A and B are shown apart, each in its own frame.
Chain A
């Protein structure tokens, strides 16, 4: 994909109105959109033209979205956002566990979907696909389940994270031992919140630090004066 070409999004949904409506929203936001009514058509388009991102409906006639997402995740490309009429936490976890990069419940704010699509694309460009697909990451005795958004401490106790804390920790874990500026972190962890300021990043970092304190081996998130923050551990998938 040439760097200045518009990102190509493939919308897979059995409902024509939704397909076309989403295509319109994405086109208006500077994407090149294609549509497919089912998984078979999706495969055909991916084989012929390819795509940078797939928006995948969960419940479709024929092969369902979960199975299609699992296949795409096995291939490693392109990234997938599941768009589903099932909105429970449990459904979201199932979607993320089969390898979807993000999960949104219908009805959603179309602009938020576009923002998430951008975040997923950015992450997919930046992160090694293996790490991006890893379900869990380990560091300093902690275990971070990326699908369930659960952090388990070295004692085996689950330490719940808020949505912001989880996104922040995932940004750190995926970019370890690298200084991340407040702007970068805002971008990575608060993609959909336009009214979050630098100060909020500091607040989230200090909360996250408190929850990671139990590692007992020094600071996991180090402040780099004047620059930003650095995640000191080296996480491993699994």
Chain B
């Protein structure tokens, strides 16, 4: 056992492994997607483009008084200027707009999250030619065009990059460095505003960057793929950890029910292996104990019954009237021995459970009793009532109770009915019943309500004890109930849910 203890990691190590795996997986998935997909497209716009867009829009708004519509920019007309932070880099752009619109500089406002004058660098990766090329063309086109034209302030607003002039860009350029042209500022997240002739302000904001959708999708992909990978990992891990625990629980349950059932497999995390080893050792001790007990009981039975058998054979040589008396005494003694041994070896869990018809079972017990000349009657409200139970155990339960009823109450009227999910069996006798204060006490072993009245009525005081333990092993119970006349013992047993007749 101790040799096996070294194998298998403790649960803490499993958990640490899981955490490490989670981080590694999350990182690997994220990294893979980032590297495999194109970079985020630039969210910058050229100042000359912004200026010409705004000038066109301003002129239109000055005429109509309404904000123009455009997808690239978001327009609005307000009562006052938007809050503006002073940005030194924005000053030339502001000045240019004021000049082109003939407005004093304080009637123009510009703010932006990102204003740069330096070089913009793109890294273009092999393998994503199409996507990258579009983006690269988008930015690089203007840059090159301006370089060749040498006119940073083109009077006409540059159209969206519909005629892509591919500038020395092979289908898969290795890396493109694109310097910003002179006199052009690159702006991002800007808000540009100017006062309209009617005193209201026209506000233009950068619109949504359509190129960004791909990037958003990619982010969603990263999150989704990571989640998926982690869920799969967690599931796999949980199952891996849970399976040996479930197997263990089932095996321990089986050993608890029957120590003779197979050993619990010593597998899984170290803690579980240790527990399984302990359970197996315990089961071995239980098996030895059960074997001891069985052997002892068999020896006791043999040693007590062999002399009785000798006596019984000796009685055969006696005159008939004596023989019958001796036989009766022997039978009584035998009944006592039988009840002791049955009680001592009683193991309500060992018999196999089967689906059985409770009505037929009660009928057979009652018939056997009636055939032995006892006053036993059965009435059943059901013609068939299927429960899951131990046929021999249940027969003994009802035989014990009917025996008691006949012994102390001269007769047994057995009634079976169904009460919801339970079968209720009432055994009514013709005796004085059990006083209210003693109705629990009589279920204790060796407790007899009626002290020996010498003739015929005897018993070890184990019948009710055994009956109750069998009923409880079936999920039911035996109780003594209040009644007008006689004694009433009630058995309740759970009923199996009706199964459609399977043929």
Q: What residues make up the interface of A, taking CB atoms closer than 8 Å to B?
A: 15, 17-18, 21-22, 24-25, 59, 85-90, 105-110, 141, 150, 152-165, 193, 207, 211
Contact = CB atoms under 8 A, between A and B. Distances in A.
A158 B355 contact: yes
B86 interface: no
Given A59-B298, A108-B309, A156 B395 contact: no
Interface stretch (B66-74, B300-308, B460-468): B300-308
Interface of B: 298, 301-302, 304-306, 308-314, 316, 327, 330, 334, 338, 341-342, 345, 351, 354-357, 360-361, 363-365, 367-368, 371, 386, 391-392, 395-396, 501-503
Given A107-B305, A154-B503, A155-B503, A89 B392 contact: yes
Contacts of B313: 17-18, 21-22, 24-25, 110
B316 A164 contact: no
B316 A21 contact: yes
18 contacts: A18-B306, A18-B310, A18-B313, A21-B314, A21-B316, A22-B313, A85-B298, A86-B301, A88-B338, A107-B308, A110-B312, A155-B502, A158-B356, A159-B360, A160-B357, A160-B395, A164-B371, A211-B360
B414 to A, nearest CB: 14
Contacts of B330: 107
Contacts of A193: 371
B355 A106 contact: no
Please name the 8 residue pairs, one residue from A and one from B, whose CB atoms are nearest each other, closest first.
A21-B313, A162-B367, A158-B356, A160-B361, A107-B308, A160-B364, A85-B302, A85-B305
B327 A109 contact: yes
Contacts, number: 114
A88 B342 CA distance: 7
A15 B306 contact: yes
Contacts of A211: 360
A87 B314 contact: no
Nearest to B341: A88
Nearest to B304: A85
A150 B502 CA distance: 20
Given A88-B342, A157-B356, A110 B316 contact: yes
Contacts of A88: 338, 341-342, 345
Contacts of A106: 305-306, 308-309
Nearest to A90: B392
A89 B395 contact: yes
Contacts of A165: 364, 367
Given A18-B309, A85-B301, 9 more contacts: A22-B313, A25-B313, A88-B342, A107-B311, A161-B364, A162-B371, A164-B368, A165-B364, A211-B360
B330 to A, nearest CB: 6
A107 B309 contact: yes
A93 to B, nearest CB: 8
A149 B311 CA distance: 31
Contact of B310 (A17, A25, A159): A17
Contacts of A157: 355-357, 386
A107 B298 CA distance: 15
A141 B503 CA distance: 9
Nearest to A109: B327
Contacts of B365: 160, 162
